[in-house]
């Protein structure tokens, strides 16, 4: 009986003390190893990318400096050669004229061409160095190149929108259309919406949603304008057009149905 | 009067010179051509006349006149670069020593007018003989508002019609114009305008103006003033820009030789309502563009003007002069696209025309008002010169 009790007393504490034993030193070692491995991987990745980044910045800096030098040289040479005067004389009174002098345009264009060249070469160098050194697939690079194209699209679209808006505004004012400003704003926003859709499409953001949204928005604007002019503002438009016809005859160089050179007092601008 | 085949290379006229007077005629009906030839032969021997025309001249009627056929082209309302180039080329080919260029409708000119324009260049006392037309008071308004005042203020010339379509040219004047024309014709812009008065002034040639009385002035084929005004004003602005080194120096205006007769209007004053409507509409919509071109002073002047009623609508001469100068400066520095710039000037020009009509309706002689405007342009020239030299530092 004592033996049995002794066995029982021995076995019970054994059962309760055995299950979980926590070794703190081992856990910290495992965590430290994992962190070290992560840090190692990050550092390895950075080290793999760094030469590419360095190559990118070196290429960009070198080509920017070359661009600055070429731009300064071109500016000086064209100024000495009186390029602006020659061009003005040759082109005469052309309708389209840039907002800056041709010499400045050539100089700036050459500078930015070199910057762009530096960007392209830098990106190529970065791509090559990364591809050889890294094992992870890169998805950022094509997106970056698309982003550059999208920025160009955005700039061009904004400039075109502003140019067209001004053209429409001045033309409509000189045609004495009362809704000149609305027309100008409409044209501006149509071009901007088109630009935004093109930019998003170029960035491959949104996919079909953008196309659909653009189609609905653009078509909606055009339909609204058509309905407004065709139905809602029918009387206003007809009055405006009648008024326009009358005023055109008033502002024509020679009023219609009047002899051009009789000694009378018709208004003649020339 | 654009003649088609522009000559690419200017060949120097051969020497020695004959006694010929080359007359370059625009296309005109046969009866008008007869009238012009009769006028020419009334003061100049037919043997010495060389008439270049695209029309058919009956040789039996004028056996002694040397007729030079030139290709017929689309009629132009004014002289173009191709005309000047052809005139010089023909003068060289036919040993002429003076040139008379007559634009469309020249038959309405008196024989004495042709004589005056010709004789002075034949005598070699003048390089550029320019007519002073006697126009109705409400004609030639662009000339009165912009072309004449600007030419007078900047090139110190009293030529009342800088864009005259009848000119007497000495050979050296024709050569200079031909050289200037060559730049335009070389790039297929034979229809470009040339400004003989400023060319003569820059070259230091003698300019003489002659009253020629009433003349039938051809009008542009384009009925819309917007396109023509922008074209003519743009051409003058470009010419002024190219000759900046000349006109920036102060020059003495020659004494008055001839004043156009006072032309009082017998008719009722024209309706200026549409012009004022155009100005008000532009004031409401073009503020953004005008503010890029005009300084605050001018914008304030326009604001006051926009609040004026039609009866008392008067644009101060100083304001108009500064507006034109500011647009000229903006054209030079390309503040905005030049097409937009010249388009934005049109409503302001219409405002000036409305103001001019109001002033003349109140009893002021139109010629006196135009002379006053030109004098104001002269007085405001230092403003232009200052801003031309320091466009960013001087903006009152």
CATH (domain of B145): 3.90.550.10
Same domain, A108 and A191: no
Same domain, B231 and B284: no
Mean pLDDT of B58-70: 78
Please say if the pLDDT value at position A1 is more than 80. Answer: no
Alpha carbon of B66: minimum distance to chain A alpha carbons (Å): 32
Do the chains contact at B77 and A270, CB–CB below 8 Å?
A: yes
Q: Which of B226, B242, B267 sits opposite A85 (nearest CB)?
A: B242
Q: Is B295 on the interface with A (CB under 8 A)?
A: no
Residue-wise pLDDT for B242-255, tens only, equals 888 898 888 888 77
Residue A191 included in any domain: yes
Please say if the pLDDT value at position B12 is more than 60. Answer: no
Per the structure block, which two tokens stand in for A244?
A: 């326009």
Measuring CA to CA, which residue among B339, B73, B342, B81 is closest to residue B193?
Answer: B81
Please say if the pLDDT value at position B188 is more than 80. Answer: no
**Contact (Cβ atoms closer than 8 angstroms) between residue B59 and residue B51:** no
Same domain, A145 and A78: no
Candidate from A85-94, B60-69, B112-121 with smallest mean pLDDT: A85-94
Same domain, A189 and A243: yes
Confidence band, pLDDT 50/70/90 cuts, at residue B393: low
Q: Measured between beta carbons, which residues in chain A are less than 8 angstroms from residue B235?
A: 92-93
Mind spelling out the 3-state secondary structure of A128-187?
HHHHHHCCCCCCHHHHHHHHHHHHHHHHHHHHHHHHHHHHHHHHHHHCCCCCHHHHHHHH
Same domain, B317 and B170: no
Residue B64 included in any domain: yes
Mean pLDDT of B26-32: 83
Give the H or E element holding residue B373.
Answer: helix B366-379
Under DSSP, the state recorded for B69 is: E
Same domain, B320 and B195: no
Alpha carbon of A45: minimum distance to chain B alpha carbons (Å): 51
Mean pLDDT of A105-110: 88
Alpha-carbon distance A162 to B370, whole Å? Answer: 38
Same domain, A155 and A190: yes
Q: Measured between beta carbons, which residues in chain B are less than 8 angstroms from residue A166?
A: 289, 336-337, 340
Q: Is A89 on the interface with B (CB under 8 A)?
A: yes
Same domain, A132 and A160: no
Do the chains contact at A169 and B267, CB–CB below 8 Å?
A: no
Select the more confidently predicted residue: A237 or A11: A237
Residue A132 is predicted with a pLDDT of: 56
B224 phi and psi angles, rounded to 5 deg: -90, 125
Residue A237 is predicted with a pLDDT of: 64
Residue-wise pLDDT for A213-225, tens only, equals 888 887 887 787 7
Alpha carbon of B82: minimum distance to chain A alpha carbons (Å): 13
Q: Is A158 on the interface with B (CB under 8 A)?
A: no
Residue B283 is predicted with a pLDDT of: 93
State the sign of the Cα–Cα–Cα–Cα dihedral B349, B352, B356, B357.
Answer: positive
Do the chains contact at B225 and A269, CB–CB below 8 Å?
A: yes
CATH number of the domain where residue A168 is located: 1.10.287
Residue A258 included in any domain: no
- Pick from A195-209, B20-34, B276-290 the range whose average pLDDT is largest: B276-290
Please say if the pLDDT value at position A63 is more than 60. Answer: yes
User: What contacts B175, CB < 8 A, 6 or more positions away?
Assistant: B10, B88
Residue B135 is predicted with a pLDDT of: 81
**Contact (Cβ atoms closer than 8 angstroms) between residue B35 and residue B107:** yes
Residue-wise pLDDT for A171-229, tens only, equals 999 888 888 888 888 889 889 988 988 888 888 787 788 788 888 887 887 787 777 66
Alpha-carbon distance A184 to A269, whole Å? Answer: 28
Measuring CA to CA, which residue among B15, B22, B52 is closest to residue B170?
Answer: B22
Q: Is B277 on the interface with A (CB under 8 A)?
A: yes
Q: Measured between beta carbons, which residues in chain A are less than 8 angstroms from residue B266?
A: 265
Same domain, B63 and B185: yes
**CA-derived radius of gyration, chain B:** 22
Let me know the angle formed at the C-alpha of B28 by B83 and B187, rounded to the nearest 5 degrees.
Answer: 25
| Coil, helix or strand at residue B114 | helix
Measuring CA to CA, which residue among B275, B332, B342, B296 is closest to residue B154?
Answer: B332
Domain of residue B45, residue span: 20-247
pTM: 0.75
Number of domains present in the structure of chain A: 2
Alpha carbon of B338: minimum distance to chain A alpha carbons (Å): 6
Please say if the pLDDT value at position A111 is more than 50. Answer: yes
Q: Is A15 on the interface with B (CB under 8 A)?
A: no
Residue B191 included in any domain: yes
Residue-wise pLDDT for A5-41, tens only, equals 455 545 454 545 555 555 677 888 888 888 999 888 8
Q: Is A174 on the interface with B (CB under 8 A)?
A: yes
Residue B252 included in any domain: no
Residue B204 included in any domain: yes
Do the chains contact at B277 and A176, CB–CB below 8 Å?
A: yes
Q: Is A260 on the interface with B (CB under 8 A)?
A: yes
Q: Is A162 on the interface with B (CB under 8 A)?
A: no
Residue A52 included in any domain: yes
* Nearest residue of chain A to residue B213 (CA atoms): A263
Whether ipTM > 0.90 holds is: no
Same domain, A132 and A143: no
Q: Residues, chain A, total?
A: 270
Domain boundary among A112, A138, A164: A138
Residues 190-209 of B with CB under 8 A from A: 192-193
Residue B380 included in any domain: yes
Please say if the pLDDT value at position B298 is more than 70. Answer: yes
Select the more confidently predicted residue: B1 or A241: A241
Alpha carbon of A162: minimum distance to chain B alpha carbons (Å): 11
Let me know the angle formed at the C-alpha of B273 by B269 and B279, rounded to the nearest 5 degrees.
Answer: 125
Confidence band, pLDDT 50/70/90 cuts, at residue B115: confident
Q: Which of B198, B246, B340, B356 to mutate to test the interface with A (most CBs of A within 10 A)?
A: B340
Same domain, B110 and B216: yes
Residue A241 included in any domain: yes
Do the chains contact at B142 and A250, CB–CB below 8 Å?
A: no
Residue A156 is predicted with a pLDDT of: 93
Residue B80 included in any domain: yes
Mean pLDDT of B327-349: 90
Looking at every residue in chain A, the average pLDDT score rounds to 75
Q: Is B48 on the interface with A (CB under 8 A)?
A: no
Same domain, A77 and A152: no
Alpha carbon of B345: minimum distance to chain A alpha carbons (Å): 10
Q: Measured between beta carbons, which residues in chain A are less than 8 angstroms from residue B225?
A: 251-253, 269
Please say if the pLDDT value at position B9 is more than 50. Answer: no
Give the H or E element holding residue B34.
Answer: helix B30-41
Do the chains contact at A270 and B143, CB–CB below 8 Å?
A: yes
Alpha-carbon distance A182 to A188, whole Å? Answer: 10
Residue B4 included in any domain: no
Q: Is A173 on the interface with B (CB under 8 A)?
A: yes
Do the chains contact at A270 and B142, CB–CB below 8 Å?
A: yes
Q: Which of A99, A161, A167, A174 to mutate to test the interface with B (most CBs of B within 10 A)?
A: A174
Residue A203 is predicted with a pLDDT of: 83
Same domain, B64 and B211: yes
Same domain, A211 and A109: no
Same domain, A131 and A146: no
Spacing of C-alpha B121 from chain mean position: 20
Do the chains contact at B337 and A97, CB–CB below 8 Å?
A: yes
Alpha-carbon distance B90 to B98, whole Å? Answer: 11
Same domain, B220 and B282: no
Q: Measured between beta carbons, which residues in chain A are less than 8 angstroms from residue B229?
A: 269
What number of H helices and E strands is found in chain B?
Answer: 16, 7
| Coil, helix or strand at residue B49 | strand
**Contact (Cβ atoms closer than 8 angstroms) between residue A49 and residue A78:** no
Measuring CA to CA, which residue among B21, B33, B37, B311 is closest to residue B168?
Answer: B21
Give the H or E element holding residue A212.
Answer: helix A208-227
User: What contacts A240, CB < 8 A, 6 or more positions away?
Assistant: A177, A178, A179
Q: Which of A98, A167, A248, A267 to mutate to test the interface with B (most CBs of B within 10 A)?
A: A267
Q: Is A21 on the interface with B (CB under 8 A)?
A: no
Same domain, B170 and B42: yes
Candidate from A52-61, A244-253, B115-124 with smallest mean pLDDT: A244-253
CB-based burial, A243-252: b 16+ in 10 Å, e otherwise = eeeebbebbb
Do the chains contact at B346 and A174, CB–CB below 8 Å?
A: yes
Residue A3 included in any domain: no
Mean pLDDT of B258-265: 63
Q: Is A257 on the interface with B (CB under 8 A)?
A: no
State the sign of the Cα–Cα–Cα–Cα dihedral B334, B337, B339, B343.
Answer: negative
B82 phi and psi angles, rounded to 5 deg: -65, -35
Do the chains contact at B286 and A267, CB–CB below 8 Å?
A: no
Candidate from A71-75, A131-135, A243-247, B382-386 with smallest mean pLDDT: A131-135
Same domain, B215 and B350: no
Looking at every residue in chain B, the average pLDDT score rounds to 83
Mean pLDDT of A144-169: 89
**Contact (Cβ atoms closer than 8 angstroms) between residue B183 and residue A90:** yes
- Percent of chain B having pLDDT more than 90? 23
Confidence band, pLDDT 50/70/90 cuts, at residue B5: very low
User: What contacts B253, CB < 8 A, 6 or more positions away?
Assistant: B152, B156, B157, B158, B378
- Percent of chain B having pLDDT more than 70? 87
Same domain, A123 and A165: no
Domain of residue A34, residue span: 29-91+100-138
Mean pLDDT of B149-178: 89
Same domain, B278 and B334: yes
Per the structure block, which two tokens stand in for A224?
A: 């609204």
B4 phi and psi angles, rounded to 5 deg: -75, -60
Confidence band, pLDDT 50/70/90 cuts, at residue B220: confident
Residue A232 is predicted with a pLDDT of: 58
Please say if the pLDDT value at position B14 is more than 90. Answer: no
Same domain, B167 and B95: yes
Q: Is B35 on the interface with A (CB under 8 A)?
A: no
- Percent of chain A having pLDDT more than 70? 67
Number of domains present in the structure of chain B: 2
Same domain, B204 and B315: no
Mean pLDDT of A239-262: 51
- Pick from B88-97, B207-216, B284-293 the range whose average pLDDT is largest: B284-293
Candidate from A32-36, B66-70, B150-154 with smallest mean pLDDT: B66-70
Same domain, A74 and A148: no
Residue A24 included in any domain: no
Block residue for tokens 């020629």: B212
Q: Measured between beta carbons, which residues in chain B are less than 8 angstroms from residue A246?
A: 274
Alpha-carbon distance B103 to B43, whole Å? Answer: 19
Do the chains contact at A180 and B223, CB–CB below 8 Å?
A: no
Residue A227 included in any domain: yes
Residue A15 included in any domain: no
Alpha-carbon distance B383 to B396, whole Å? Answer: 10
Residue B74 included in any domain: yes
Alpha-carbon distance A243 to A52, whole Å? Answer: 67
Same domain, A144 and A247: yes
């Amino acid at each position: 009986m004592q033996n049995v009790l002794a066995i029982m007393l021995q076995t019970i504490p054994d059962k309760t003390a055995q299950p979980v034993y926590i070794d703190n030193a081992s856990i910290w070692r495992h965590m430290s190893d994992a962190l070290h491995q992560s840090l190692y991987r990050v550092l390895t990745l950075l080290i793999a990318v760094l030469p590419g980044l360095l190559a990118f910045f070196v290429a960009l800096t070198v080509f920017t400096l070359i661009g600055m030098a070429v731009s300064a040289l071109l500016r000086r040479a064209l100024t000495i050669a009186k390029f602006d005067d020659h061009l003005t004389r040759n082109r005469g009174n052309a309708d389209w004229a840039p907002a800056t002098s041709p010499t400045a345009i050539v100089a700036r264009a050459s500078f930015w061409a070199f910057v762009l060249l530096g960007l392209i070469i830098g990106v190529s160098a970065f791509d090559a160095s990364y591809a050889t050194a890294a094992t992870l697939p890169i998805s950022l690079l094509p997106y970056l190149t698309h982003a550059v194209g999208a920025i160009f699209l955005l700039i061009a679209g904004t400039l075109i929108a502003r140019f067209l808006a001004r053209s429409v505004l001045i033309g409509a004012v000189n045609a004495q259309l009362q809704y000149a400003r609305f027309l100008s704003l409409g044209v501006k926003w149509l071009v901007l919406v088109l630009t935004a859709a093109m930019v998003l499409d170029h960035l491959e953001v949104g996919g079909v949603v953008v196309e659909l949204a653009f189609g609905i928005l653009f078509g909606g604007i055009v339909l609204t304008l058509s309905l407004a002019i065709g139905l809602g503002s029918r009387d206003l438009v007809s009055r405006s057009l009648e008024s326009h016809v009358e005023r055109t005859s008033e502002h024509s160089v020679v009023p219609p149905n009047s002899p051009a050179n009789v000694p009378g007092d018709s208004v003649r601008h020339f | 009067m654009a003649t088609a085949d522009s000559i690419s290379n200017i060949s120097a006229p051969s020497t020695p010179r004959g006694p010929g007077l080359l007359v370059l005629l625009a296309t005109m009906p046969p009866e008008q051509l007869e009238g012009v030839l009769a006028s020419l032969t009334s003061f100049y021997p037919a043997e010495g006349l060389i008439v270049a025309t695209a029309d058919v001249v009956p040789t039996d009627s004028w056996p002694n006149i040397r007729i030079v056929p030139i290709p017929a082209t689309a009629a132009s309302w004014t002289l173009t670069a191709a005309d000047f180039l052809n005139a010089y080329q023909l003068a060289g080919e036919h040993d002429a020593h003076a040139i008379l260029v007559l634009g469309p409708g020249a038959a309405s000119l008196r024989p004495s007018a042709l004589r005056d324009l010709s004789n002075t260049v034949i005598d070699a006392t003048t390089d550029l003989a320019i007519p002073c037309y006697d126009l109705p008071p409400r004609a030639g308004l662009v000339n009165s508002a912009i072309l004449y005042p600007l030419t007078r203020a900047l090139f110190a010339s009293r030529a009342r019609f800088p864009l005259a379509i009848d000119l007497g040219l000495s050979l050296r004047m024709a050569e200079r114009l031909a050289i200037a024309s060559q730049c335009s014709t070389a790039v297929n812009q034979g229809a470009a305008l040339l400004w003989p008065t400023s060319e003569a002034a820059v070259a230091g040639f003698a300019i003489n103006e002659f009253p020629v009385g009433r003349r039938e002035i051809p009008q542009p084929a384009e009925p819309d003033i917007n396109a023509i005004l922008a074209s003519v004003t743009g051409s003058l602005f470009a010419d002024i820009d190219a000759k900046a080194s000349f006109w920036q120096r102060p020059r003495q205006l020659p004494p008055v030789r001839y004043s156009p007769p006072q032309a009082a209007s017998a008719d009722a004053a024209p309706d200026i309502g549409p012009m004022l409507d155009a100005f008000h509409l532009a004031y409401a919509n073009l503020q953004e563009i005008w503010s890029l071109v005009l300084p605050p002073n001018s914008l304030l002047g326009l604001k006051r003007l926009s609040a004026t009623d039609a009866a008392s609508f008067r644009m101060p001469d100083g304001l108009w002069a500064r507006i034109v100068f500011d647009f000229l400066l903006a054209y030079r520095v390309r503040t905005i696209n030049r097409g937009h710039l010249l388009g934005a000037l049109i409503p302001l020009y219409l405002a000036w025309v409305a103001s001019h009509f109001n002033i003349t309706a109140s009893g002021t002689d139109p010629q006196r008002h135009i002379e006053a405007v030109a004098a104001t342009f002269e007085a405001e020239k230092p403003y232009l010169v200052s801003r031309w030299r320091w466009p960013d530092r001087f903006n009152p």
